[in-house]
Amino acid sequence: MTDKKQNEGFSSIFGFLMTVIGFAVGVGSLWRFPYVCGTNGGALFILVYVLVIVLIGIPLLTAEISMGYVTQKTAVGAYQTLKPHSKWHLASYLHIIVAILVNGYTVPIYVWILAYIYKTATGFFQGLDAAGIAESFDALSGDYKTMFLFAVINWLIITVIISGDVQNGVEKVNKFLLPALAVIMVVCIVIGLRVEGSSKGLTYMFKPDFSTFSLSAVTAAVGQAFFAIGIGMLASMIFGSYLKNKNENIVKHAAVISTSIVVAGIAAGLMIFPMVFAFGLEPGAGAGLTMITLPNVFNYIAGGRVIGTLFYVGFYFAALSSAIGLAEAIVAVVMDRFQLTRKKAVAAVMGIIIVIGCCSILIPGFLDQVDIITSNYLLVVSGLLIAIFVGWIWGIDNFLDAIHVEQKAMRTWLGLSVKYLCPIAILIIFLGNFI
């Protein structure tokens, strides 16, 4: 079974990039980035977020992809190959736990989006003011019949896609989803920026207010970076093992992926915050910000029902690309460790994800609380373990030689970042969560 897994791979580097970007852009950028940015001061948060991506995100993403790429193995096997006869492979189980949690507890987001596709297309929001839309969103979360109906649809779609092999499942879907989403987002941004009062949203996003600076905002920026890029979330390591060309420029790929994530997050903000201020809404509204704000936009503009439906379809594309990327990574590990066929591994993984998803739907506050625990604690520790392992256990020179980094300046930057900057910064910020 391990040999079968090893033979899976992407048909092209474009397929790899679309899959990893899709995995990262979806829920991390379109849902989570706007609401975390809105609750942490706007422009200053974005500035810190970009710095975190450059100084920590790109080097750590390079390190994580490289572990899979060099060993051609899933997480447990990657650690065992790079450091045999040690306990370091236990770190892989934290990556697996994080991946399962994220794929499970985020299911209400997928449900909201599917419900909004239906409601927007049928004109449900037309005639509702901002308060009415907010009330309808609160009511949706408590409508368990509707929530479970769309949850089942979502789980079935994910199951069907990941039941295929990598090229005919995850890769093929993402090659279509990502370009379609980009077009829809651009249309929504252009329309939204033409609304009177939207310029206040641009000020909020791009004019730093240092009175909003706090350690919690920095911590949130790190957590968001880790969540968006997927550091320590298993998928990047697995997708790295699907790269078969031994001359890939892993640093370049990591930089392209990270840049795409930043652009997607800012684009999501450009869709949301101008409308938040134009309609007098609260930027710190929390997890439902995207769902509460945008229906106001689509009510305002001509052809809003059609454009709104297209947006939520695009939003679901993005979210789905995250879900299938993460589920594929978990399935790969289960196939490899338990010697299961893909179908049996998919059944086992989806069973666990569904149980966690049911908790997220039924238990008030479960989504928000698990999101905080996962992003601010588990993901940060997971990333710290990767930094320590690659920088100190596998060794910086071994890491850089294995991925053919020869330029001295590049070796210095990656070496200092992975070995010293990342562990120190992550540790300080992690401890700051307890202060």
User: If you write DSSP's letter for every residue of 175-222 in order, what string do you get?
Assistant: HHHHHHHHHHHHHHHHHHTTSTTTHHHHHHHHS--GGG--HHHHHHHH
State percent of the chain over pLDDT 90. 45
Mean pLDDT of 263-283: 85
- Distance from the first to the final alpha carbon of the chain: 47
| pLDDT confidence of residue 6 | 43
Contacts of 87 (CB under 8 A, 6+ apart): none
190 vs 130, 161, 181, 410, CA distance in Å? 21, 33, 14, 38
359 contacts 353 by C-beta, under 8 angstroms: no
- pLDDT for 192 beyond 90: no
Mean pLDDT of 361-367: 94
Burial of 406 (0-12, 13-18, 19+ CB in 10 A): exposed
Burial of 45 (0-12, 13-18, 19+ CB in 10 A): buried
Q: To 5 degrees, how large is the angle CA 357–CA 333–CA 30?
A: 45
Q: How confident is the model at residue 180 (pLDDT cuts 50, 70, 90)?
A: confident
| pLDDT confidence of residue 210 | 81
Q: What single-letter amino acid sits at 392?
A: W
- pLDDT for 2 beyond 60: no
Count CA atoms closer than 13 A to 150's CA, side-chain side.
21
| pLDDT confidence of residue 171 | 66
- pLDDT for 159 beyond 50: yes
pLDDT tens-digit readout, 26-52:
777 877 888 888 888 889 899 999 999
- pLDDT for 5 beyond 70: no
- Quick one: angle between helices 75-82 and 58-71, nearest 10? 80
- pLDDT for 1 beyond 70: no
Mean pLDDT of 307-321: 80
| pLDDT confidence of residue 434 | 74
Q: What single-letter amino acid sits at 52?
A: V
| pLDDT confidence of residue 352 | 97
- Quick one: angle between helices 422-432 and 379-388, nearest 10? 150
Radius of gyration of the chain from its Cα atoms, rounded to whole angstroms: 21
